[in-house]
Every structure is written in structure tokens, then in C-alpha cells.
Amino acid sequence: MDDLLDLDQVIERFDPAIGLEVHVELNTASKMWCGCSTAPGADPNTQVCPVCLGLPGSLPVVNGKAVESVIRIGLALNCDVAEWCRFSRKNYFYPDMTKDYQISQYDEPICFDGSVDLEVDGRTYVIGIERVHMEEDAGKLVHGGATGRIHDADHSLVDYNRAGVPLMEIVTRPVPGLGAEAPAVARAYMAHLRELMRALGVSDARMEQGNLRCDANISLAPKGRTELGTRTETKNVNSLRSVEAAITYEMRRQGAILSSGARVKQETRHWHEEGYTSPGRSKEQAEDYRYFPEPDLVPVAPSREWVEALRATLPEPPAGRRARLQAEWRFTDLEMRDVLGTEGALELIDATVAAGASPASARKWWLGELARRANESGAALDDLAIGPRQVAELQSLVDAGTINDKLAREVIEAVLAGEGDPAAVVEARGLAVVDDDSALSAAVEEAIAANPDVAERIRAGRVQAAGALIGAVMKQMHGRADAAKVRELILARLG
């Protein structure tokens, strides 16, 4: 096990720099250079052809939909779009790609010079985007043996179905000026990308499925030095939690090495879910790949008209949308922070408001009673068996005076138990507030008769004593009464 320095000691002595390279698998129907299907779950080596198997004489053709997706992503990341760019061959030994080169982009990425504003714990961080480029995925190796790991496998199998699936790589600039929050900022960036890919509809962006994979570069420099330290690159980290944990681990490991006077070795590292990184290969330099322009593909030259037409298809940026909704809903900063701090709450409240509820009531239900129930059952808010339309219906029953808040909680219970929509539950369980004046009056009379001393005090002008009688009436009506109306009746009866 590596020696680790406490994170606060790391921050006392060093400035961390992080840089993230994120691969996104696009959700196009066909592969990057051929018409083979990208549908998941097929038998091994059934979605292949001479192009994606790299057979002699085959020629690649660019997937137009993939180019469109990458341009939209670049625009959403505030990048410039190249007027003209080429593909390059990246030469390597790829056991999972028969060509032994990957078609990628080298010095001419399609999108470049972008930025993302991230808000983490009330502070805004600007993440510079160096480039977004197109490339292809490799096939998949399946290692035989008990552990499925390469070093104790007696054989390995290869499935080329994934070879040639469109990939996009988003590369950040090193992010400066971070302290102990560096891992949390990296995590927030990944969460932002995931949200953005889904909003654009260009990728399923499921990290656990490998649609979105992060290579995290981390280095430490002695405090106050502008020159970056030697970095390590932890490959293929595939959950938000792991991104945060892997960066924290590398900061602590490198901190211990540098504090002992030794040097950090430039290398790739592997993340283990048990919570540590281990060395991989020592990192090649870009020159080692012998990049050269891909001679089998024509350059890509997106017209400005096309780029502008694609810009018009962009969804509202997440940060702008949050600001717009806060203004429309008239939520305070504190209220909005609560909403954003609960996963899924923003979407649910938005949909509940769209279904007719007031923003305040939508927030009250989702962050109150429903959040409490989700918490209790360990479920996510949007996994509850009640949706925005039903919450809006519930609130309309409250607004109409059909049920009160207490009965509404009973209705929620029934909806969650699968008894149907709120109005149907109120009907079936007979939960409506009793609106019948004679029934209420009878209950009021009974309460007065049972509490003569209280009634006497109210008659003497001590109006606040009415609370005790209201409670008695509500109890007798099993909560099915409008408290304001009961109060009115009591005061009218007792002068």
C-alpha cells in the first residue's frame, strides 16, 4: 500500500492541478466509419464488416450524424468549430483493434477553445476546454480465468462489435487555483457533462456502462510555483464517486512522495474500486504514437450555415435554466440551494409546476413529505411511485378545500401504495373534508357541551382558547374538517 499524506497537509504544502480527458460514446445507430449497428447486447463479432475489422482494401466513410453530435457538443461547451479539420492515425499496439492504429484527431480537432462555468458550494469555477475531437472505440477483450484480469488469464477472447463505435474526447486545460475542493470540482464537472450529453440527446452517458469514461490527470506543485508538477493519469474511472475518490487518493499519494523528497513518476495508473490506484504503463509521449494525417478520409469542413443551424438546436444551458427557473418561481437563494441539493428535485418541481401546481406548493411536497419518504425507503426522489402530475392533482384538491394538508399526507400514502391517483383515493377512502354545515355544527355543539369551561372563556372574549375546541372537533371528524371553517362556527356560536 502507498504512503498517503493527509489531504489538509497536501494543501498546506502544494497546489494541485487537475486535467480531465473524458471519452463519450455517442448514441448513433451505426459505427463511425461503416454501417455496422451499434446496438448493445449482440452476440460477439456479429456487428462487424471489412471496414471495422480493418481488412485490406476496405475504406472508411465518416458518419455524418456523429460529426453533427460532436459539433453540437462543442457549441454547448462554448467552443469554436474548425472550418476545416482532418483525421489522424494514432499508431499503437491495439490487441482489440486489428488495424493497429486508431483513427483520431491530433493537431486539428473539430472543436477547440471552450469553457464551462461550474458552481460548486456557492463558488464559480471556470473550466477551460482545450479541445473536443472525434475518434473510434476499440473492441473489447474478455480475459479467461477466475478473476477476469489479464495477469492471471490463460487465454483472452476478443469481441470486435465495439470496434469503430463513435467516440468523442473532451479535454480540459489544467484547472488552476484549486485547493482541497479539487476532487469535488472534478466530480461536479463530470456531473455537468453527463447532464449536458443527456440534454443534447447525443449519448446515453451512463458511466457504469462505460458510455462516459474519465481519465484524470493530477499533479502537485510546491505552493506558489506556477510551473506544473509531474502528473499521473488515472485511466477509465467510471463513476462520479470514483472520480472524486481517485483524485483524492492521487493527491495524497503524490503529496507523500514529494514530501519525502522523492519524485513522482509520470505514468498511467489504474483505479481500483477498493479505493486505491496502481501503476500502469509509463506514459508515452505524443511523438511515440507517430501520428500522421489519415489518407483514407477527406477533411471535414463544416459550413458556417450548418454550424449556425446546429447552434439553434441547442437546449438551454443548465446554469441559465436554473437561474431562469429560480426567477420564475420566486425562490430565495436558500430555497433554490435546497432544491439543487436534492437529486432530481429541480426536474420534478418543474414538471409539477407545468402540471398546474404553484412553485411553492410543488417545492413543499417534493422537499418535504416526499423527500422524507424517499429518504426512509432509501429511494431516489424520482423513483417514488408518485409523479409530478399526481402531486399537482393533490395540491389542486387542497386548494379546492376538498382535503387539508393532513389528509393530503394520507392520500400520498395511498398513492405510493398503488391505490391510484389522488382524486380516486379521496373518493375510494372517503377522505374528503366534511363540508356539510349541519354535520359540522353538530360536532361543534358536542365539543362545547363536553368543554363548558373552555366555552365560558371564549364567551368572556378569550378567543385564543378556541384552539382546544377546534382540536376536539377535528378529532371527532377524524381530521376531515376545514379548521378555518370550524373556528368560524365556534366563534359565531359563542358570540
Residue numbers at the binding site for Mn ion (CB under 5 A): 169
Binding at 169: pick from Mn ion, Zn ion, none (beta carbon under 5-8 Å per type): Mn ion
Nearer to Zn ion, 17 or 52 (CB): 52
C-beta separation of 148 from 138 below 8 A: no
**52 belongs to the binding site for Zn ion (CB under 5 A):** yes
Residue 423 interacts, among Zn ion, Mn ion, none and using kind-specific CB cut-offs from 5 to 8 Å, with none
Quick one: cell of 193?
457533462
Region binding Zn ion by CB under 5 A among candidate stretches 45-53, 104-112, 132-140, 220-228: 45-53
Whole-angstrom distance, CA of residue 34 vs CA of residue 56: 15
Q: CB of 28: closest distance to Zn ion in angstroms?
A: 13
In the complex, least distance from residue 394 CB atom to Zn ion, rounded to whole angstroms: 52
Return the one option of Mn ion, Zn ion, none that residue 218 interacts with (CB less than 5 to 8 A, by type).
Answer: none
Interface with Zn ion by CB under 5 A: which range of 30-38, 220-228, 273-281, 425-433? 30-38
Q: Are 267 and 279 in contact (CB under 8 A)?
A: yes
* Closest CA relative to residue 19, chosen from 177, 219, 188: 219
Strand, helix or coil for residue 79? coil
Sign of CA dihedral 286, 287, 289, 290: positive
Element (H, E) at 250: helix 240-259
Check binding of 175 to Zn ion (CB under 5 A): no
Identify what 51 binds: Zn ion, Mn ion, none; CB under 5 to 8 Å per kind.
Zn ion
Output 137 or 244, the one with its CB closest to Mn ion.
137
Q: Determine if 163 is a binding residue for Zn ion (CB under 5 A).
A: no
Instruction: Kindly report the number of other CB atoms within 10 A of residue 337's CB atom.
Output: 14
Among 11, 26, 32, 51, binds Zn ion (CB under 5 A): 51
Among 11, 32, 34, 188, binds Zn ion (CB under 5 A): 34
Q: How far is CA 482 from the centre of its chain?
A: 42
394 binds Zn ion (CB under 5 A): no
Nearest 5°: phi and psi at 107?
Answer: -90, 0
Please select the residue that binds Zn ion; options are 7, 11, 36, 362, rule is CB under 5 A. Answer: 36
483 binds, among Mn ion, Zn ion, none (CB under 5 to 8 A by kind): none
**How far apart are alpha carbons 436 and 487 in whole angstroms?**
15
Closer by beta carbon to Mn ion, 169 or else 350:
169
DSSP β-ladder status, 267-272 and 231-237: parallel
- CA–CA dist 382, 416 (Å, integer): 12
Interface with Zn ion, residue 70, by CB under 5 A: no
Number of residues that make up the chain: 495
Output the smallest distance, CB 133 to Zn ion, in A: 21
Q: Which residues bind Zn ion (CB under 5 A)?
A: 34, 36, 49, 51-52
